[in-house]
Structure 1
Amino acid sequence: MKPVLPRLAPLPTVASQTESPHVMTGKENIPQSKTSAAAVANIRSRRERPCDACRRRKSRCVIHEGKVLCVLCEFHKQDCTFVQSPLPRKRKLNNEISGDSVKKRPPPQKSPREIAPTQVKQEEEVHPLLLTPSPTLLGETLSLQRGRHCRHIGLSSAYDHSLLDLSQFDGRNESKVDFGTLRKVDEHECFIMYSDDTTQSSYDEAEALNTVEQTVAPHGSALIDIYFRIVHPSFPIIQKQVFLDRYQNNDRQYNPALLAGIYLLALNWWSFEEKLASQSKPDSARLEEIASRSLMNTMKQPKLSTMQAGLLLLQRPDADLWSLTTQLVAVGQELGLHLDCSRWQIPAWERGLRKRIAWALYMQDKWSSLIHGRPSHIFDANWAVKPLTDDDFAENPIAGSQAILPTEEERISAEQGQEVFNQMIALTSIMAEVMDTFYTQAAISDFDDAGPNATRLILERAKPVQIKLKEWFARLPANARMDTTDNQQLSMTGKSYFFFPRYLHLGYFATEITLHRRIIQSLSPTTSDPYLFYICRSAAKTRLISAMDFVNRLRPSHLQAFWYFASKVNFTLIGTFGSLLWATAPTQEEADFYRMRLREYRWTLSVSSRRAEFLGYAVRMLDASRGLLRNLAEKPWLGQQPRTSEAGVPEEGEGGVGEGLGVGMGMGMGMGDEAGEVGEVGAEALGRYPSGPGFMGFPDDDL
């Protein structure tokens, strides 16, 4: 029976000038039958202290059972010696690990080759090689190896899977063939592993990484802390414990674009940190240049770190590039992120990380499709990723290292952030259905062919989507509802630790507006049924008021939180929807109502932009829309429309607002009496955000 678990193998590197007594044959992990007396002495010495090379690197010294060389020395093809004296100890700072937490060498572990397939489930819970990654164990992974990258082999490619199954796979489920190295992860999926050396590039990643560090020095650690305190909880696409362990142990073999992306996002909160605000802020333009060049280079050697870097760079408010999103979708498919990896023979922590990155990519593609008005590149028919579970967010400490136990603030922020991430995925799937139902070329053609019946056709197709949106809203946990008080967490030092992001709620309003926007676009005062016309406009008005009042209630703590990349356009969509209702208003009184609300909304955004600069984009776009409305023709006054009220809906007794939002809508459009009619969710939200005489600004204590 073939072993199920993967096995670490050294990657090809340039040999050192000193010849190693251990010959690398390609099957380096098979214990040698003959060892010299010096080698045996080395093993005894190895258990006492780290070798000279690991001591110089300040790296963890690991030796596998039956091996002569430690993993790093074997990797670099160099002698594993124990002749140098220990380096003098440096006095540790107060914020470093105290001296009483000395590392102890873990007991010898079983080789993955010795683990039987029937023991996999039990071993996955305790075996450090599987659940507890470290820099030297990245070779166990599929998409995070140093020196190698993988590409997925599809069923219709030139490499027929039936022929690939004829290969002889070793203990790592790998087989060397003429065109590369095959790696099977389960019965159906196979990858080709390539050496990074096969892709020619003059880009020096080591130099780029040094430049990144020098650009932010000496504030790198502070920026890392900001990132994991504010961004990571609700956007968990990095294995936090693995990253921090490598960073604190001076392992600087990062993807430069990834590290630059972390620093760039953290710089958004530079002025809010007391210790940093008075310091000179690092050059973000230089970081962006390095990150862009490095990302383009690493796409030739795709790894999970490539996806992480790209997704982080796209979260910057001014970097929602459609072309980069499409490139990341292609890279993700090369890495097999669109597949179900639940049973793959890779480390359990990598499975969880792959799923989180996959869903982050899904959201990036779908929201980019909405805000740019372009076709999505991810389709349900080819999306097999399973929903996330609690295990997929597990942060496992590294075996033999000083594990950093989470504080109470970190635990709370992780739980709340996980909830935000899951709820955003669910909302994105509904939003994607709205786009597929109303904004594809096929749907547009259907509505055009329907002619005067287009509105009724749209309402019929809107019913199932509206029901899903209503159910999502009703199932929101208590701590994620929009009427929840600000649940900012404070650390023991009084420093803000985590703000529950409101971009989730903003995305909800953007989804509703996207749905009702299509309904309003189909209405025509001359061809639409008058009753239907006013009912649909009344429901749209409810949406607009709810969304605007939600923005009015944002506190400074909300504005200082992490906002998803689509947020600046989602704020803009609220203003765009208001302008649409203004432009299509049947009376001058109704047009003046929307003009007044848009003026208040613009003032709110301009004040809020002092704490959230990205809102300046929404202000500029709102001004552009108002500029277009200057060409709007004069509308008839209310006296010329005797059957309409000030809001432009039928007077009570002739099909009032309440009747239209409820039973009237169901009976008139054939939508039934069950829950989910167009208008119910908006009316419910309006109850939470009543429209007052006008927004009067933030309370004094908030400013």
Structure 2
Amino acid sequence: MTTAVAIQPAMPRPTPVPIAAARPRTKRSLSGKENLVQVKPVSSVGPVANIRTRRERPCDACRRRKSRCVIHEGAVLCVLCEFHKQECTFVQSPQPRKRKITGDGKKDDSNQKKRSVEAEPPPLALPTPTITATAPSPTPQQAAKRDTTVLGETLGLQRRQHSRYIGLTTPFDSLLIGLSQFDTRNESTFDLGTLRRVNDHECFIMLPDENTQDYGDEADALAAIEQIVHPHGPALIDIYFRTVHPSFPIIQKHLFIERHRHGDRTFSPPLVAGMYILALNWWSFDPKLTSYPKPDASRLEAIASKSLATAMERPKLSTIQAGLLLLQRPEADSWSLTTQLVAIGQELGLHLDCSTWSIPVWERGLRKRIAWALYMQDKWSSLIHGRPSHIFGANWAVKQITDEDFNEDGDGYDNKPEESEDEKQDNERGQILFAQMIALTAIMAEVMDTFYTQVAIQDFASAGKGSTRLILERAKPVQIKLKEWFAKLPPSTRMDSSSGNRLSSTGYLHLAYFATEITLHRRIVQSLDPTTSDPYLLYICRSAAKTRLISAMDFVNRLKPEHLQAFWYFASKINFTLIGTFGSLLWATAPAHEEAEFYKTRLREYRWTLSVSSKRAEFLDYAVQMLDASRAMLNNLAEKPSLAQSQLSNVGVPPAPSTSMTRGGSGGNGNDLTQQLQLQRSSQQYRRDVEMAFQGFANEPFEQFGSDPMSSDTPRSTA
């Protein structure tokens, strides 16, 4: 006779617990991974301490503060207890209903009863600053939507943990990972951490922040930063988003502003410091700030540098954002920091194509913008430092930037403020400017790979006297790409497109274009040897270089205050200097005294322009100093022979064959005539070949500058 025995489950299933309106559960469909982006499930796995009765009763500390007690899915502590590094308990009885002093020392008045912590946005590792909230509290519906949105589902923006990419050759073999049991969040927990799978091929390991070095110091660093700028933090944030962000959009603007406005205290200290430091450059332009003493930027930089080093121990997207912003300072010229950021970016998987990952759609766009900003940082740092790039095309899978990548919808804050027409135009133009800079950087990177790698240098050295022809041959396709890029520039990026008193950052894009062309022509000029080069080849190469120099110098002459006072990309300081360096190179290699005097005069004029412009853009002082250093080197240059003393003709072109020789004159015969005709045909064909090699090297029209357009390539001054 058998007896039926009821087998009890290992853990009794708890009865349903009512959930506060701030965190409603969302029914989830398991039809596909894409649902992970559209619908954010609430994890059923979590500490028992998170299950509270009586409609999410507050913890003891929050009850004493009369603050909203917010615990995110999977967390042990509430937001405020975690911030204050204290226990989160539920043992005390409710306090009597009377007015009390809150934790911040202020009376809990009726209009302050609902503090900004009620609207505590979900965790975002765009970490940011400490500001006392003055905005009205959100409605329960808004708070509920905000608390169930995205940030717990993000990959690179979580508060208490960070991600590290698992490569194909690591001990975590992809086939073994596939044997793991993943939950509805595509996560699998094991002894070393939590595996987070974003698609069928890529996987990350999620690690807790608290196990990293100096984790508890972030709150102190953030408080010190806020104290330095107090009470002008909100004004500086406004300056940053008005001046820097439009053309360098690496932060999720609306999400950042909302978190900042609601008093979020979990921002990344180096990121906030970087934003403040850049905004301080426009302190004197704000009528509300100019009468106050300017905060000490050096103190901010010291805290930012130290806190960034510790943040690298737990890398997040905010770590890359902070590093990129700190590198935009005119005085920040750190090759080592750039290489560190590239390594961290690879650890975060920024070099991968995230377009199909199971992460929020807006995070995909943010990751792409940060990835391309990191790409540009690496490539332009490689140029200005003359060192090898750390990003290679074979391992770069990021898709081209699109309009959708700037979309900020779905971040949990639906009530976006209306933008003025000027703000809309600035944002649209900034996005186009950012995308065009990415495209130009790709061409510049091709110039560097074609002419300045060790393999290329060895190829040109092995070519000997034919090095110039080899360089021209390789230069032609790159120059055509550069010319086509310039021809297709949208109207909003023209130098005369700025309107009214609005600042315009289009200058750094055009300056980068001239720096790219100069880098290309610089290699050609370096290969020329007046003693061995063909006179016609020497003439046409130097003429093209001369045209480039004059175009670049005229561009600098035409910069207006709205250009000079705007945001300039970090490489601009060196790009202005490269124009002077190129002029000094042409001066030093000039075959005749007259040509050398021409460049000497133009460099003197260029120095004057830079010194005057530096009154509005202080970073131009560096270009002036470098120009003076080059001038000092040229003092040792030997005196050039005059054109009359040199063997070159006045136009630098070898003379045509004599008429008597072509007609078989005295001393000639039929064979001589045939040889001469063959020589003439060869010379003509050679000239056509050289001219064909320089197709695309012509000067672009100057209508973009708004005044004194030049309709031809003829310089206003000649040697």
Instruction: Bin the TM-score by the shorter chain.
Output: 0.7 to 0.9
Determine the C-alpha separation between the residues in 1 that align with 2:623 and 2:142. Answer: 59
Match of 1:634 in 2: 639
**Residue 613 of structure 1: which of 618, 635, 657 is its match?**
618
Query: For 1:200, what is the secondary structure of its paired residue?
Result: coil
**Residue 499 of structure 2: which of 470, 483, 487 is its match?**
487
- Letter aligned with residue 104 of structure 1: T
**Residue 140 of structure 2: which of 91, 105, 109 is its match?**
105
Query: For 2:506, what is the secondary structure of its paired residue?
Result: coil
Query: For 2:194, what is the secondary structure of its paired residue?
Result: strand
Match of 2:102 in 1: none
- Letter aligned with residue 578 of structure 1: G
**Residue 680 of structure 1: which of 672, 693, 698 is its match?**
698
**Residue 413 of structure 1: which of 411, 416, 426 is its match?**
426
**Residue 27 of structure 1: which of 46, 49, 60 is its match?**
46
Match of 2:488 in 1: 475
The alpha-carbon deviation at position 422 of structure 1 amounts to: 0.2
The structure with the largest alpha-carbon Rg is: 2
Alignment of 1:285-300 (within 5 A): 285-300=298-313
Query: For 2:417, what is the secondary structure of its paired residue?
Result: coil
Alignment check: 8 A CA contact 2:198 2:358 kept: yes
**Residue 502 of structure 1: which of 496, 501, 507 is its match?**
507
Residues 301-358 of structure 1, C-alpha deviations (whole Å, 9 max, x = no match): 0000000000000000110200000000000000000000001001111111100000
What is the aligned-residue identity percentage? 58
Query: For 1:680, what is the secondary structure of its paired residue?
Result: coil
Query: For 2:587, what is the secondary structure of its paired residue?
Result: helix
Match of 1:88 in 2: 109
Relative distance call for 1:2 and 1:293 in structure 2 (3 A) is: farther
The alpha-carbon deviation at position 166 of structure 1 amounts to: 0.5
Alignment of 1:498-537 (within 5 A): 498-537=503-542
Verify: 1:277 aligned to 2:290, yes or no: yes
Residues 434-459 of structure 1, C-alpha deviations (whole Å, 9 max, x = no match): 00000000000000000000000000
Verify: 1:587 aligned to 2:622, yes or no: no
The alpha-carbon deviation at position 73 of structure 1 amounts to: 8.1
Match of 1:19 in 2: none
Determine the C-alpha separation between the residues in 2 that align with 1:181 and 1:62. Answer: 20
Verify: 1:625 aligned to 2:630, yes or no: yes
Alignment of 1:146-225 (within 5 A): 146-201=159-214, 204-225=217-238
Verify: 1:53 aligned to 2:58, yes or no: no
Relative distance call for 1:60 and 1:229 in structure 2 (3 A) is: farther
Residues 17-59 of structure 1, C-alpha deviations (whole Å, 9 max, x = no match): xxxxxxxx95359997xx8xxx2x426x99xxx9993995977
Alignment check: 8 A CA contact 1:644 1:650 kept: yes
The alpha-carbon deviation at position 481 of structure 1 amounts to: 2.4
Task: Specify every segment of 5 or more residues in structure 1 that has no aligned partner in the other structure, as ranges.
Answer: 11-24, 110-126, 491-495, 655-663, 695-703
- Letter aligned with residue 653 of structure 2: P
Alignment of 1:346-495 (within 5 A): 346-396=359-409, 399=412, 402-482=415-495, 484-488=496-500
Alignment of 1:129-148 (within 5 A): 138-148=151-161
Alignment check: 8 A CA contact 1:242 1:397 kept: no
- Letter aligned with residue 439 of structure 2: A
- Letter aligned with residue 378 of structure 1: I
Determine the C-alpha separation between the residues in 2 that align with 1:689 and 1:224. Answer: 45
Residues 551-600 of structure 1, C-alpha deviations (whole Å, 9 max, x = no match): 00001111000000000000000000000000000100000000000000
Residues 99-134 of structure 1, C-alpha deviations (whole Å, 9 max, x = no match): 8x763222898xxxxxxxxxxxxxxxxx8778xx5x
Query: For 1:633, what is the secondary structure of its paired residue?
Result: coil
Determine the C-alpha separation between the residues in 1 that align with 2:78 and 2:167. Answer: 34
The alpha-carbon deviation at position 274 of structure 1 amounts to: 1.8
- Letter aligned with residue 160 of structure 2: G
Determine the C-alpha separation between the residues in 1 that align with 2:713 and 2:562. Answer: 19
Determine the C-alpha separation between the residues in 2 that align with 1:530 and 1:591. Answer: 17
TM-score normalized by structure 2? Answer: 0.79
Match of 1:228 in 2: 241
TM-score normalized by structure 1? Answer: 0.81
- Letter aligned with residue 477 of structure 2: P
Determine the C-alpha separation between the residues in 2 that align with 1:156 and 1:598. Answer: 54
Relative distance call for 1:299 and 1:230 in structure 2 (3 A) is: same
Query: For 1:318, what is the secondary structure of its paired residue?
Result: coil
Determine the C-alpha separation between the residues in 2 that align with 1:254 and 1:668. Answer: 63
Determine the C-alpha separation between the residues in 2 that align with 1:157 and 1:665. Answer: 61
The alpha-carbon deviation at position 500 of structure 1 amounts to: 3.7
Alignment check: 8 A CA contact 2:180 2:188 kept: yes
Alignment check: 8 A CA contact 2:166 2:205 kept: yes
**Residue 322 of structure 2: which of 292, 295, 309 is its match?**
309
Determine the C-alpha separation between the residues in 1 that align with 2:466 and 2:701. Answer: 26
- Letter aligned with residue 522 of structure 1: S
Alignment check: 8 A CA contact 2:551 2:699 kept: no
Query: For 1:502, what is the secondary structure of its paired residue?
Result: helix
Determine the C-alpha separation between the residues in 1 that align with 2:66 and 2:386. Answer: 50
The alpha-carbon deviation at position 276 of structure 1 amounts to: 1.7
Match of 1:258 in 2: 271
Alignment check: 8 A CA contact 1:546 1:690 kept: no
Residues 278-314 of structure 1, C-alpha deviations (whole Å, 9 max, x = no match): 2111111100000000000000100000000000000
The alpha-carbon deviation at position 649 of structure 1 amounts to: 3.9
Match of 1:566 in 2: 571
Determine the C-alpha separation between the residues in 1 that align with 2:634 and 2:389. Answer: 31
The number of aligned residues is 623
